[in-house]
Amino acid sequence: MSEIALLKTLLDKDFYEAHKGIKCPDKIFTKNLRKIKQTLDHAMQTYDSSLSIVDLEALFYSDNKTLTTANMGQYREIFRKINNSRALNNEVADEVLSKMFQHCVGEEVANIGFSYANGTESTLEPLRRIIENYQDDFTPNLKMEFEDMSISTLLKANETETQWKFNIPTLTRKVEGVSGGHFIIVGARPNTGKTSFHASMIASPHGFASQGAKCVVLCNEESSHRVGARYLSAATTMTLDEIKSNTSKASMRYDKVNSNIKIKDATGKDLGWVEAVVKATKPDIVILDMGDKFAPRTSDKTDIYLRDAAIHARNIAKEYNCAVFWLSQLSAAAEGLATPDQSMLEGSKTGKAAEADLMILIGKNRVMEGNEMEDTERHLNIAKNKLQGGFHGRITCQLAGDIAQYTA
């Protein structure tokens, strides 16, 4: 009965204004009362005065014209109870709200516990979010600090936007680099050079690792040792055969960057696990290879769950102040194209793309019949760019595949 009394109390305009939104969300009410609360919210946004129970009931039936006879009977009984109840004073109403939030939080925790028990949740992050979102009395945590928007702060922030510079001269001249908080999508067809691209970008001379960036590479496509071998070649500018024949020379070069590169096999892991890793290791650069495989299937529609995952990855970049690179396949439509476009992103033509600050799509020339020589030319297509200068277009470079290095 307490939630019925609370609903009647919310008919008072002043009380409603003091408790609207996140302070009294629909979710804390039981199912039938939730629908009435939604009508109440709409009415309070429309009218400037308090409502009577007669007003609310009339508006509710107007909003729900397809109710069955049985449902109409249920709601008439609910409105009768609301009419017969007494409005609460503010202190009692706040206590009732706290108890309703407590019940709601209890259900959320129980659902998470069930997910742990059946193995569908693998990190403590959902519990941490609940703890962060509520105060000790179970009401929402509304503490907020706004950003410093002084002239000096804004100028300094924009001066340091490029924290980590790309080491491919033809790319750097157009897109200088990335910083913490940036979300970057790198797309290509299979066997085009996606893994070599991030190995070169991080480990090769003048790459992110040599600039001092702490880099975490999470791979669920190739094994961590195969990816590691690419990084070893990129860092030493030596093929694996050359490394075997001169390990002392390779060690001298590799040791300069190795401590800033951490590679982990992440097969079967999701973005909740990724966030836990980022929170624990505090990297500057995060590589998700392949990004799509970290996406939990929150929907039957591929484009929707990939969009949701891209939003999560972007939030990780912002919350933990790291640059997140999301590696993605391109569809068969991009095969043999020097200039693929973002509509060729596999599984999500717009959802993932909408979240990106920078999108680099790697193309290569179509192999001509009778030409068996490996084409080393690669085209970095800047399909989206919200960073410095906003350059869009094609940048041509060379891939030395045997040492996993992109060069001008």
Distances (CA, A) of 171 to 75, 165, 234, 336: 64, 10, 18, 21
Reported as a single tens digit per residue, the pLDDT across 309-330 is 999 999 999 999 999 999 999 9
- Cis before 144 (ω within 30): no
* Torsion angle defined by CA atoms of residues 270, 272, 274 and 278, in that order, rounded to the nearest 10 degrees: 180
pLDDT band at 260 (very low <50, low <70, confident <90, very high): very high
Contact (Cβ atoms closer than 8 angstroms) between residue 313 and residue 183: yes
Q: What is the average per-residue pLDDT within 64-75?
A: 90
How much of the chain, in percent, has pLDDT values that exceed 70? 94
Distances (CA, A) of 379 to 70, 157, 353, 363, 371: 65, 31, 19, 5, 19
pTM (two decimals): 0.68
Between 161 and 338, residue with greater pLDDT: 338
pLDDT greater than 80 at residue 39: yes
**Helix locations, 53-124, DSSP H:** 53-63, 69-84, 90-118
Q: How many CB atoms lie within 10 A of CB 134?
A: 17
Q: Which amino acid is at 408?
A: A
Q: What is the average per-residue pLDDT within 214-236?
A: 95
Question: Across-strand partners of 9?
Answer: none
Reported as a single tens digit per residue, the pLDDT across 40-60 is 988 988 888 899 999 999 999
Reported as a single tens digit per residue, the pLDDT across 343-400 is 899 887 678 889 999 999 999 988 766 555 568 899 999 999 998 778 999 999 999 9
pLDDT greater than 90 at residue 147: no
pLDDT for 144 equals 57
pLDDT for 32 equals 86
How much of the chain, in percent, has pLDDT values that exceed 90? 57
Question: Across-strand partners of 330?
Answer: 345
Please list, in sequence order, all residues whose beta carbon lies within 8 angstroms of the beta carbon of residue 396, skipping any fewer than 6 positions away.
170, 377, 378, 379, 380
**What's the chain's average pLDDT?**
89
User: Residue 48 burial by CB count (10 A; 0-12/13-18/19+): exposed, middle or buried?
Assistant: exposed
pLDDT for 302 equals 87
pLDDT for 159 equals 64
Bridge pairing between strands 261-265 and 285-289: unpaired
